[in-house]
Amino acid sequence: MPAAAFEKGPFYVRPFPATSAAIRVTAPARLHLGFLDLNGDLGRRYGSIGLSIDRPSTELTVAKADQHSASGHESQRAVALVRKFAGERPGDGYAINISEAIPAHAGLGSGTQLALAIGAAVAAIEGRSLSAADIASLGERGARSGIGVEAFTSGGFIIDGGKGTTDRPPPVTLRSDFPPDWRVMLILDPRNAGVSGEAELTAFAGLPPFPETSAAHICHLVLMKLMPGLKEEDIGAFGSALTEIQEIVGAHFATKQGGSAWTSKAVGHLASRMRELGATGIGQSSWGPTGFAFVESQKAAERLYHSLNEDAKRVGLEILIAHGRNSGARIETLRNPKRMEH
C-alpha cells in the first residue's frame, strides 16, 4: 500500500501519522538533454530539458533505528543526507538500505534522486508535510535544474524555467507524457565520470559567454520542432531538433571536456554509429559520460542493441534499452519492522 504520494499542484508528500513502519522508495533516473539559455540576459539562466526514464533506478528502504546508518550502494552519501533531514538525536536515528542505485557521476541525476528518496521516506515516517521542492532544498539539490525534482514527482518529459534569484529549484514550465512506444538507447561508460561537486561549479564559472543568438535558436527549436514532434509522436522532428540542441550545447561545454562534446570518446563514437544505423536525438546527458539515442520502437531498439552490443563490450561500454517513465517515484510502506539496534 502506498505510504505517501505526490499531489499535483504543488506537490507534497501526503503523510500518515508518525510511525515506526519502514518506507521503501523507488526513484527514477533522468536524462539531462540540454539547456535553453546559458546566456541569462533575460534574468534567468540555464533552463533544463529533461526526461525521466525507467532504468536505472534507486531503490532504498528507510526504518527507525538507534542511530543513523546505511548499507549497500552510496552508503556514506546516504548517511550524510539523512543527517540533513533528521539531524542528530541520541538514540533516535534511521537505518537505510540501498538495494539499487543510479550510477553516481554518470549524468543520470543520482544525487538528487537519492536525496529526494531519503527525504521523502523520513518525511513520511515522521508525519511531516513537505513538498518535493522543500526536500530538495533541505538536501541542497536542484539549485540549478528543476528536472530532477519533477522526475521524482511525476516523471515524463520536462522543461524548467531556469534559475532566477532564489535557491529554490527552478519552476517547471512544461511537463508532458513521453510516447510509450519510443525507446531510449543508453550508452554507459563505467570507467569514466562526469564533472560534479566543486569541480562542476568551477567548470560552469569558467565557461565562455554563451551567444544570445544561440539561446534564441535553441528556444525556437524547442517550441517549433522538439515539442511538436513529441506531441505528434514524430520522432524524426523530435530527434533532429534534439541532436541540433546537443551539438550547440556540446560545443559550448567542449572547453571543459578536453575539447570534445563527449566526456567519453568511446561513448561518442558508439552514439555516432547508432545514428548511422537509424537512431536519432543523439547526445550526452549532462556532463556525461552517459550518452543517449532515441528509436521509434522496442523492435528497433533490440535491433540496434544486437548490432552494437558486442562492439560496446569490447571497449568497456554497456548499452541499456530504457522507456520514458511517465510517473514519479514509488513510495510504499512495509510491514512494521522491529526497531533496528546496533
- Measured over the CA atoms of residue 300, residue 302, residue 308 and residue 312, the dihedral's sign is positive
Q: Are residues 93 and 183 in the same domain?
A: no
Reported as a single tens digit per residue, the pLDDT across 244-259 is 999 999 999 888 888 8
Amino acid at 194: G
Q: Tell me the CB-side half-sphere exposure of residue 81, using CA atoms within 13 A.
A: 28
Reported as a single tens digit per residue, the pLDDT across 67-104 is 999 999 999 999 999 999 998 887 889 999 999 999 99
What was the pLDDT predicted at 20? 62
Here the CATH number for the domain that contains residue 57 is 3.30.230.10
Here the CATH number for the domain that contains residue 291 is 3.30.70.890
Q: Are residues 190 and 298 in the same domain?
A: yes
- Those residues with Cβ within 8 angstroms of residue 337's Cβ, 6 or more apart along the chain or in another chain: 20, 21, 22, 63
Judged against a pLDDT cut of 50, whether residue 6 lies above it is answered with no
Q: Are residues 308 and 165 in the same domain?
A: no
Q: Are residues 92 and 148 in the same domain?
A: yes
160 grid coordinates: 524548467
Q: Rounded distance, CA 89 to CA 293, Å?
A: 47
What was the pLDDT predicted at 247? 97
Q: Are residues 134 and 165 in the same domain?
A: yes
Q: Are residues 267 and 185 in the same domain?
A: yes
Q: Rounded distance, CA 323 to CA 191, Å?
A: 24
**Would you tell me how many other CB atoms lie within 10 Å of the CB of residue 278?**
13
Q: pLDDT category, 134, cuts 50, 70, 90? A: confident
Domain around 132? 1-177+324-342
* Residues making up the chain, counted from first to last: 342
Judge whether 10 and 131 are in contact, CB under 8 Å: yes
Judged against a pLDDT cut of 80, whether residue 142 lies above it is answered with no
Burial class (CB in 10 A: 0-12, 13-18, 19+), 172: buried
Judged against a pLDDT cut of 90, whether residue 14 lies above it is answered with no
Percentage of residues in the chain having pLDDT higher than 90? 73
Q: Are residues 224 and 317 in the same domain?
A: yes
Q: Are residues 249 and 152 in the same domain?
A: no
Q: pLDDT category, 4, cuts 50, 70, 90? A: very low
Domain count, the chain: 2
Judge whether 228 and 242 are in contact, CB under 8 Å: no
What was the pLDDT predicted at 317? 98
Q: Rounded distance, CA 231 to CA 177, Å?
A: 9
Q: Where are the beta strands (DSSP E) in the chain?
A: 23-37, 46-65, 69-72, 93-100, 157-160, 172-176, 183-188, 280-284, 291-295, 318-322, 330-333
Q: Are residues 24 and 74 in the same domain?
A: yes
Reported as a single tens digit per residue, the pLDDT across 168-209 is 889 999 999 999 999 999 999 999 887 677 777 787 778 888
Measuring CA to CA, which residue among 155, 153, 147, 151 is closest to residue 171?
147
Q: Are residues 200 and 271 in the same domain?
A: yes
Judged against a pLDDT cut of 90, whether residue 162 lies above it is answered with yes
Average pLDDT over the chain, rounded to an integer: 89
235 grid coordinates: 520522432
Reported as a single tens digit per residue, the pLDDT across 261-319 is 999 999 999 999 999 999 999 999 999 999 999 999 999 999 999 999 999 999 999 99
Q: Rounded distance, CA 28 to CA 152, Å?
A: 7
| Range ranked top by mean pLDDT from 15-19, 79-83, 331-335 | 79-83
Q: Are residues 125 and 232 in the same domain?
A: no
What was the pLDDT predicted at 11? 44
Q: Largest alpha-carbon pair distance within the chain?
A: 60
Judge whether 324 and 180 are in contact, CB under 8 Å: yes
- Those residues with Cβ within 8 angstroms of residue 35's Cβ, 6 or more apart along the chain or in another chain: 46, 47, 48, 49, 218, 249
Judged against a pLDDT cut of 80, whether residue 5 lies above it is answered with no
What was the pLDDT predicted at 19? 53
Q: Are residues 222 and 108 in the same domain?
A: no
Reported as a single tens digit per residue, the pLDDT across 319-328 is 999 999 999 9
What was the pLDDT predicted at 10? 37
Measuring CA to CA, which residue among 185, 173, 160 is closest to residue 291?
185
